[in-house]
Amino acid sequence: MTPNRAGALTRVDPVDRVDSAGIAIESAFLVFSDDLGRECRVYAARCAAHGYRGASPVVIHLPGGTQTVAHQDLIWWARRGFACASFDWQIGAYPDHDPARKSIWPEGTKGQCADTADTAQAVMPLAIRSVGVLIDWLTSWPAADAQRIGLAGISWGGYLTWAAAAWESRVRALVPVYGCGGLFEPGHPCRSPVPQPLAEHWARWWDPFGTVDQIVAPVCFLSGTNDFFGIHDHAHRLLTRVGAPHRRSLVANANHHLSAGESALALAWMRQHLADGPPVPPAPIVASAGEVCAPGATAVAWWWTPGSERGDLDCWWPGTPPAGVGGSCFARATYADGSTQTSAPMTVAAAAGDDLGDRWPDPRAGFASQWGMSSTQFHRDEFTITDLGGGRGRWTVERAGAGGLDVVFRGLADPRWNRDLAGLRIALDLPDPAPTRLRVDIRLLAGEYAADLPRRQGVIAVDLADFPGLPPNTAWSAVRALRLTGSIAGNAFTIGPIERLIAAPGARGGRA
């Protein structure tokens, strides 16, 4: 499925061979021609697996924006039993990098069937060709097993992983790490006027949204819950078009950087699909959502974007979002006096825990919410709504019992949400069979109290009148913490404790 082999490797111009931390790294310029016959020179580097004794599986590392070939990336994979290669694809400006080790694209490539203000998109066709050229370079290398090649891309490199894999059938495993939001939408030509053949060429060959269904290699998409670039609902829509085996894993509290948890899962995925390693265990999916109720008002509304842009401020939905919605949302409370409180962005998705044993540094890894960044910080239109309020979503993940169920509760833990609270509703989305036991515990300054709940799925209302021994007229504002426990077929699970769920100094209806 490779594109026009006008982009095949025609010449290798060696640069040097150096020893870095005990690993020999070889670099060269890989030369090929584009469709117009113009010469392209791609700076690339490769190293054999540490302790090389023969052909090893290969991971091609695709750097992100403003990044280039880095020896530490190659060494990381080499010390874990993989040969590794990488190339510079001139994505963003980095004046501090060695000019003698930069790829050289033909003049005039910027703006050809791409946004002229975005150099990154202009070079994308050449970058995709470069992945194939790099594989050409590896096929005759004794240290590489050309039948076992994987792509691992970071940020912009994650986007390139998607785009290149649609055309490179020699790739056997993919790990795009976060990627960039907004790039997973259907593309369209930006030049005016655009020659029809050029427009058709772009849509057919280089638009990842239109070609992702051609991917045949297993995909493991990694991202952090707090990543402001990797918009999760965009990536979710892209994954649903992949026919090959695929998995999405969101690492709790991770931002736009490669975390230890993501590195561990990327390694496990490559070992499974390239090195006959054990399968990455499937993640149990257990999710819940919470609402805080205010009298005489729409207490909480959720807003999400399963198919629309975040800038559509009229897409407010009352109540708890349905299970399985893969979009972004904001929680908003409206009070009797007309004032509102709006949370930071959160992503509606099920909890995803990955049990990798001692290779996973945080046993609570899972999905909770994506906190948006202020539009004044990043000038991103999809975050302008955060100017309307200052609340934030709070989450917890607990693992207990055989099977290790992961549960996420989305509560509201900002004091400004605590005005005139009247109740709490918890929406459960648990695997069959339904829970055989449900119990809620609350903690007040005066002590702890418990109540049994109906044994069922769906929205469960928690009423303070259900707690035996609780002093009369106790208000929700007096509750310091809440925990929901239960069991499913003998497996225990816990939601919470949610600390300071409904407690705020000076709030009407009670005090902390």
pLDDT digit string, tens, across residues 189-229: 444 455 555 555 555 555 666 677 788 899 988 876 556 55
* Residue 305 placed within a domain: yes
- The CATH code of the domain that includes 467 is 2.60.120
Phi then psi dihedrals of residue 438, to 5 deg:
-135, 135
Q: How many residues does the chain have?
A: 512
CA 112 vs CA 8, 163, 201, 213, 263: distances in Å: 21, 17, 11, 25, 35
Asked if residue 153 and residue 72 are part of one domain, the reply reads yes
* Residue 245 placed within a domain: no
Report the mean per-residue pLDDT for the chain. Answer: 63
What is the Cα Rg of the chain in Å?
26
Name residue 116's amino acid: T
Whether residue 26 contacts residue 47, with contact meaning beta carbons closer than 8 Å, is answered with yes
Asked if residue 376 and residue 334 are part of one domain, the reply reads no
- The CATH code of the domain that includes 139 is 3.40.50.1820
How far is the C-alpha of 381 from the C-alpha of 178, rounded, in Å? 20
Asked if residue 490 and residue 429 are part of one domain, the reply reads yes
Q: Given 189, 217, 245, which residue is the final one in a domain?
A: 217
Asked if residue 65 and residue 155 are part of one domain, the reply reads yes
* Residue 68 placed within a domain: yes
Q: What is the mean pLDDT of residues 94-122?
A: 61
Residue with more model confidence, 169 or 197: 169
* Residue 234 placed within a domain: no
Q: What is the reported pTM?
A: 0.58
Q: What is the pLDDT of residue 195?
A: 56
* Residue 63 placed within a domain: yes
Nearest CA-CA partner of 353 in 484, 493, 242 = 493
Q: State the pLDDT confidence band at 67, using cuts at 50, 70 and 90.
A: confident
Give the H/E segment covering residue 378. helix 375-378
Nearest CA-CA partner of 493 in 409, 414, 412 = 409
Q: What is the mean pLDDT of residues 164-191?
A: 70
Asked if residue 179 and residue 52 are part of one domain, the reply reads yes
Asked if residue 149 and residue 80 are part of one domain, the reply reads yes
Asked if residue 451 and residue 403 are part of one domain, the reply reads yes
Tokens of 482: 């809440």
Pick the most confident of 58-62, 173-177, 488-492: 58-62
Tokens of 174: 């993919």
**β pairing state of 346-347 and 317-318:** unpaired
Q: What is the pLDDT of residue 376?
A: 21
Residue with more model confidence, 466 or 428: 466
Asked if residue 42 and residue 179 are part of one domain, the reply reads yes
Q: What is the pLDDT of residue 91?
A: 65
* Residue 183 placed within a domain: yes
Q: Given 198, 217, 236, which residue is the final one in a domain?
A: 217
Asked if residue 187 and residue 39 are part of one domain, the reply reads yes
pLDDT exceeds 90 at position 122: no
Nearest CA-CA partner of 123 in 106, 108, 110 = 110
DSSP secondary-structure letter at 59? E
Q: State the pLDDT confidence band at 267, using cuts at 50, 70 and 90.
A: very high
Q: Given 217, 240, 265, which residue is the final one in a domain?
A: 217
pLDDT one-digit tens code per residue, 374-409: 222 222 222 222 211 222 222 222 222 222 222 233
pLDDT one-digit tens code per residue, 242-256: 778 887 766 544 567
Whether residue 382 contacts residue 468, with contact meaning beta carbons closer than 8 Å, is answered with no
Strand partners, 332: 301, 342
* Residue 306 placed within a domain: yes
Asked if residue 377 and residue 312 are part of one domain, the reply reads no
Give the H/E segment covering residue 146. strand 144-154
pLDDT exceeds 90 at position 484: no
* Residue 278 placed within a domain: no
How far is the C-alpha of 210 from the C-alpha of 241, rounded, in Å? 9
Asked if residue 111 and residue 20 are part of one domain, the reply reads yes
Domain count, the chain: 3
Nearest CA-CA partner of 154 in 76, 221, 94, 244 = 221
Residue with more model confidence, 212 or 370: 212
Degrees, nearest 5: CA angle 350-353-359: 160
Least confident range from 146-150, 155-159, 383-387: namely: 383-387
Q: Give the domain range for residue 403.
A: 363-502
Asked if residue 82 and residue 203 are part of one domain, the reply reads yes
Give the H/E segment covering residue 119. helix 119-139
pLDDT exceeds 60 at position 15: yes
CA 334 vs CA 228, 240, 308, 358: distances in Å: 26, 35, 24, 45
How far is the C-alpha of 125 from the C-alpha of 133, rounded, in Å? 13
How far is the C-alpha of 453 from the C-alpha of 484, rounded, in Å? 10
DSSP secondary-structure letter at 123? H
Residue with more model confidence, 425 or 241: 241
Name residue 342's amino acid: T
pLDDT exceeds 70 at position 276: yes
Q: State the pLDDT confidence band at 93, using cuts at 50, 70 and 90.
A: low
